[in-house]
């Protein structure tokens, strides 16, 4: 019996790859005119690709690492050598290491409080955590107001959450924040470059994973799926250019986009009612002839309370053939920045680059990728589960709706929100379908 996969991101293409490997006929319907979803490459100089979407991985991302080996893709370490710059209210400062010049007591208070919170959450089923209802009702902003005493801890918390989750603390529940941090391997792992989740990048760009997977599959682009109807014989999947009949469907799109599909029979009430909030990330790439900051002993890493770029990192290609500085605009700052006219965004980015790196010339190019406005992503890095969302969505997160199976990074309790989570969800959905077919 054939399968239709909705969405040609990492989750959908992994599911399709696994199904094909079991000799199950599979067609992938993708809304955009490209594959990759939240992985997306920008060619910023001839043969130099910048990751406008997902970029970083670490050694615990074992399924992604295995896929890279299968697809003959290599990684390169994320560059971090040199001094960092910080603009945390007042003048720009330079110092060794990547931790901001804030009170050690404050940072200790923040990380201890978060570690205690993460230890409580049941990562395999957050909705079953003791006190789940209470943690799911309150926002991360409310939690910070209650638990963080030191002004530096309060100041750094939104920057930290923006960097980790692309979240405004007011938009996520305490339960989701704790779950996300733990699901990603814990605070220390998630936050680290060397030895952590940001250790490496994929040579030539993360988008190549989906491109190489898709080359082996039947993928139809420009086919937004509008309706999925089930009857006694199977499933009818209605997309832009017509309809496809199949035995089973895998929906591998973020929850809010899945909720926009017309399901018949309709989804169980809790899933249908759950909207989730979009993650708020805009990625900015500043392109220089080469990584000029290294010539001044700088790593390119900055952390800034004054936007728009709340942090920057050196994402230059390994041969140093171009200087690529990636800026992250996250949380509420991302909403403000995304709403500006293009010329004003550019002006603000150039003014900040001049403040942070007065010794450098202006970048030759500035690229802005706004994920908030992307019709087929609706925010990034991942959907944010706000108050009440885990309680409603959690228990049925991966339960099939008849012949409809679910995938996507938001359905993975392991490495939720990351490429690794997406791939694991694709494996899980394909295994469940194959097992069902074997039973029939
Ligand atoms: C700026 C940014 C930075 C990130 N940084 C990292 C990082 O450093 N490391 C990391 O591991 N992860 C990172 N992520 C997250 C990572 O990109 C995602 O977790 C992962 O790519 C999600 O894959 P997915 O297949 O679940 O969803 P998606 O990639 O969103 O795929 C869903 C696909 O479905 C399509 N679609 C949507 N609606 C429909 C429809 N109705 N019909 C047909 N097709 C549809 C979409 O176009 C898309 O192609 C980042 C993401 C962004 C945007």
For tokens 């706004």, what's the residue? Answer: 370
Q: Give the whole-angstrom CA distance, residue 43 versus residue 2.
A: 36
Same domain, 247 and 366: no
Same domain, 324 and 263: no
Distance 36 CA to ligand 1 centre (A): 7
CATH for 213 = 3.50.50.60
**Res. 274 pLDDT band, cuts 50 70 90:** low
Report the predicted TM-score, pTM, of the whole model to 2 decimal places. 0.97
Residues 29 and 145 grouped into a single domain:
no
Instruction: Compute the distance between CA of residue 309 and CA of residue 242 in angstroms, rounded to an integer.
Output: 43
Q: Residue 271: is its pLDDT beyond 90?
A: no
Q: Is the CB of 206 under 6 A from ligand 1?
A: no
Domain total of the chain = 3
352 and 404 fall within a common domain: no
For 92-112, what is the mean pLDDT? 92
CA-wise closest residue to 296 among 365, 350, 361, 360: 360
How far apart, in whole angstroms, are the C-alpha atoms of residue 118 and residue 134?
15
Mean pLDDT of all residues in 115-142: 96
Among 257-261, 317-321, 410-414, the range with the most confident prediction by mean pLDDT is 410-414
Band of pLDDT at residue 272, cut at 50, 70 and 90: low
Contact 190, 164 (CB under 8 A): yes
pLDDT at 79: 87
Average pLDDT over residues 219-226: 98
Q: Are residues 315 and 433 in the same domain?
A: no
CA atoms in the 13 A half-sphere facing the CB of 404: 25
Interval 206-217 mean pLDDT: 98
* Arithmetic mean of pLDDT, 386-413: 95
Using CA atoms, how far apart are residues 413 and 409, in angstroms rounded to an integer?
A: 8
Q: Is the CB of 202 under 6 A from ligand 1?
A: no
Please indicate, yes or no, whether residues 172 and 117 belong to a single structural domain of this protein: yes
pLDDT of residue 358: 98
**Whether the bond into 105 is cis, omega within 30 of 0:** no
Same-domain pairing of 255 and 293: no
Answer for the pair 327, 286: CB distance below 8 angstroms, yes or no: yes
- pLDDT score, position 269: 77
For residue 56, the CA-to-ligand 1 centroid distance in Å is 14
30 is in an annotated binding site: yes
CATH code of the domain covering residue 173: 1.10.405.10
Helix (H, G, I), strand (E, B) or coil at 223: coil
- Average pLDDT of the chain, as a whole number: 95
Q: 156: annotated binding-site residue? A: no
Pairing of strands 242-246, 218-220: unpaired
Query: CB under 8 Å to 274, separation ≥6 — which residues?
Result: 255, 259, 389, 392, 393
Residue at 342 is within a domain: yes
Answer whether residue 248 shows pLDDT above 70: yes
Q: What pLDDT is attached to residue 436?
A: 85
pLDDT at position 277, please? 85
Residue 312: phi and psi, rounded to 5, are -135, 155
Give the residue with greater pLDDT, 253 vs 274.
Answer: 253
Does 340 reside within a domain?
yes
Cα 190 to averaged position of ligand 1 atoms, centre (Å) = 19
Q: How confident is the model at residue 379, as a pLDDT? A: 80
For 132, the domain range is 104-188
């Amino acid at each position: 019996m054939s399968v239709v996969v909705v969405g040609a991101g990492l989750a959908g293409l992994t599911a399709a790859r696994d199904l094909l490997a079991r000799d199950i006929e599979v067609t992938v319907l993708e809304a955009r005119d490209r594959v990759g979803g939240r992985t997306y490459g920008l060619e910023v100089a001839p043969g130099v690709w910048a990751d406008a979407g997902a970029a970083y991985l670490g050694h615990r991302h074992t399924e992604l690492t295995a896929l890279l080996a299968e697809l003959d893709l290599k990684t390169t370490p994320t560059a971090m050598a040199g001094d960092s710059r910080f603009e945390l209210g007042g003048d720009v400062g330079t110092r060794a290491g990547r931790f901001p010049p804030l009170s050690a007591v404050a940072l200790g208070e923040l990380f201890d409080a978060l570690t205690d919170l993460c230890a409580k959450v049941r990562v395999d089923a957050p909705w079953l955590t003791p006190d789940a209802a209470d943690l799911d009702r309150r926002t991360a902003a409310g939690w910070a107001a209650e638990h963080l005493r030191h002004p530096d801890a309060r100041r750094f918390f939104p920057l930290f959450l923006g960097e980790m989750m692309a979240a405004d603390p007011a938009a996520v529940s305490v339960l989701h924040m704790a779950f996300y941090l733990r699901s990603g391997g814990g605070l220390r792992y998630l936050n680290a470059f060397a030895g952590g989740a940001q250790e490496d990048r994929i040579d030539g760009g993360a988008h190549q994973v989906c491109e190489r997977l898709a080359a082996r599959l039947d993928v139809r682009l420009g086919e937004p799926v509008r309706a999925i109807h089930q009857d006694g014989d199977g499933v009818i999947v209605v997309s832009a250019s017509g309809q496809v009949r199949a035995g089973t469907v895998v929906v591998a799109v973020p929850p809010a986009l899945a909720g926009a599909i017309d399901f018949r029979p309709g989804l169980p009430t809790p899933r249908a009612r759950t909207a989730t909030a979009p993650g708020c990330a805009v990625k900015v790439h500043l392109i220089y002839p080469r990584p000029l900051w290294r010539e001044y002993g700088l790593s390119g890493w900055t952390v800034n309370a004054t936007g728009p770029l709340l942090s920057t990192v050196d994402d230059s290609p390994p041969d140093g053939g171009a200087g690529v500085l990636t800026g992250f605009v996250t949380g509420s700052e991302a909403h403000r920045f995304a709403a500006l006219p293009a010329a004003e965004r550019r002006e603000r980015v150039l003014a900040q680059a001049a403040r942070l790196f007065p010794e450098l010339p202006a970048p030759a190019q500035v690229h802005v990728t706004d994920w908030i406005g992307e019709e087929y992503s609706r925010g990034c890095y991942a959907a944010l589960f706000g108050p009440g969302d885990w309680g409603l969505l959690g228990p049925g997160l991966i339960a099939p709706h008849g012949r409809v199976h679910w995938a996507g990074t938001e359905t993975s309790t392991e490495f939720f929100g990351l490429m690794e989570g997406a791939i694991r969800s694709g494996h899980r959905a394909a295994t469940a379908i194959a097992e069902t077919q074997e039973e029939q």
